[in-house]
């Protein structure tokens, strides 16, 4: 199977090439039979071709990864360090957010971004992945512990896998958020930390991870910068330069159940396959799945639509 590296530019940064279709979509002529959205299962996508697909912010990024590998850390290794289900509002815990976090949330709300929604299923995802990897429960930073302050603990320096299951924001879309950022817990933050891990703060981390997963995180967003893929490029490039070899990242807001299942399957496949092949197999499995239709328990919903499986892509080193 051939390895295909893609380094798109401008708005092509926002396109998961695996979802491109070849041939004539005959299945869309006439009334579809079978599960809802089942006609998408008849299409032939690039993911069905014998290619292992990996994305790069630039060709120089791959050269840098291979010519200047990060020396191993002398600290005891961690299998997985995960941040999930952060607390975004005081109502979730009956606590007060820090002054910096409170002001930032006000700015986001006034700018039309709305409030940040809780992500309870992200905790379940982190716990399942931890079990699959036989990681330590104490390396799961959930809810109150999913803080920007804990990101700077030495644990991250020695994590083989690193998971952030949270919302992503794009810089420039909202006043007060000048860079792409990951939203973490907003309560009990010390002075100087607002709960948002920005691109420049990621660049200051000392990472040795083989894979960083940005799950349930919308790196596509909205607006002109999102349309040019700047958030996608900025976040991925910052994690690569901080020392991680490769990143699983999303192009759009991910449906929670599909995100959980796809990530768990990818981790399972990685026990016997390379990273791009593991992601490819997980996506192809999901394309063949169905689940009960939400509004009709007797009906079925096909997960063959690219909305469910296409947004996750692998960026960086394929080995």
**Confidence (pLDDT) at 55:** 92
Per-residue pLDDT 10s for the chain (319 aa) are 899 999 888 778 778 999 999 876 665 665 566 888 888 988 999 999 999 999 988 778 777 778 877 777 777 789 999 999 998 876 665 555 565 665 555 545 543 444 677 887 889 999 999 999 999 999 999 999 999 999 998 888 899 999 999 888 777 655 566 788 898 998 888 888 888 899 999 999 999 999 999 986 554 444 455 444 455 567 888 999 899 999 998 877 778 888 889 999 999 999 999 999 999 999 999 999 999 887 777 789 999 999 999 989 999 988 7
* Element at 59 (helix H, strand E): helix 59-67
Q: How far apart are alpha carbons 216 and 17 in whole angstroms?
A: 20
User: Residue 125 in contact with residue 84, Cβ under 8 Å?
Assistant: yes
**Confidence (pLDDT) at 110:** 43
**Confidence (pLDDT) at 93:** 58
**Confidence (pLDDT) at 113:** 44
**Confidence (pLDDT) at 176:** 63
Q: What percent of the chain has pLDDT over 70?
A: 81
For 25, the 3-state DSSP assignment is coil
Structure tokens at 167: 């919302």
Q: What is the DSSP letter of 288?
A: T
Q: How far apart are alpha carbons 250 and 182 in whole angstroms?
A: 13
Crossing angle, helix 120-133 and helix 256-269, to 10 degrees?
10
pLDDT digits (tens, 9 = 90+) for 187-221: 888 888 888 899 999 999 999 999 999 986 554 44
Q: What percent of the chain has pLDDT over 90?
A: 42
Domain regions of the chain by residue span: 1-55, 78-277
Q: How far apart are alpha carbons 284 and 48 in whole angstroms?
A: 8
């Amino acid at each position: 199977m051939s390895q295909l590296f893609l380094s798109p530019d401008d708005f092509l940064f926002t396109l998961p090439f695996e979802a491109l279709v070849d041939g004539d979509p005959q299945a869309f002529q006439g009334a579809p039979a079978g599960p809802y959205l089942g006609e998408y299962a008849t299409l032939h996508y690039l993911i069905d071709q014998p290619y292992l697909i990996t994305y790069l912010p630039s060709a120089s990024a791959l050269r840098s990864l291979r010519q200047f590998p990060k020396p191993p850390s002398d600290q005891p290794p961690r299998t997985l360090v995960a941040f999930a289900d952060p607390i975004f509002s005081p109502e979730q815990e009956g606590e007060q957010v820090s002054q910096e976090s409170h002001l930032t949330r006000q700015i986001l709300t006034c700018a039309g971004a709305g409030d940040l929604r809780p992500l309870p299923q992200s905790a379940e995802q982190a716990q399942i992945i931890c079990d699959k990897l036989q990681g330590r429960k104490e390396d799961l930073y959930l809810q109150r512990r999913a803080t920007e302050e804990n990101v700077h603990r030495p644990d991250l320096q020695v994590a083989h896998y690193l998971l952030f299951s949270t919302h992503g924001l794009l810089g420039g879309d909202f006043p007060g958020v000048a860079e792409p950022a990951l939203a973490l817990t907003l309560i009990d933050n010390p002075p100087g930390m607002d709960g948002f891990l920005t691109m420049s703060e990621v660049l200051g981390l000392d990472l040795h991870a083989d894979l960083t997963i940005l799950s349930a995180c919308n790196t596509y967003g909205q607006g002109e910068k999102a349309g040019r893929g700047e958030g996608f490029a900025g976040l991925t490039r910052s994690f690569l330069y901080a020392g991680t070899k490769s990143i699983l990242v999303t192009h759009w807001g991910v449906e929670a159940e599909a995100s959980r299942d796809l990530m768990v399957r990818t981790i399972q496949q990685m026990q016997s396959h390379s990273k791009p092949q593991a992601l490819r197999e997980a996506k192809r499995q999901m394309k063949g799945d169905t689940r009960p239709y939400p509004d009709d328990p007797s009906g079925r919903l096909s997960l063959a639509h690219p909305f469910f499986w296409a947004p996750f892509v692998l960026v960086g080193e394929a080995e």
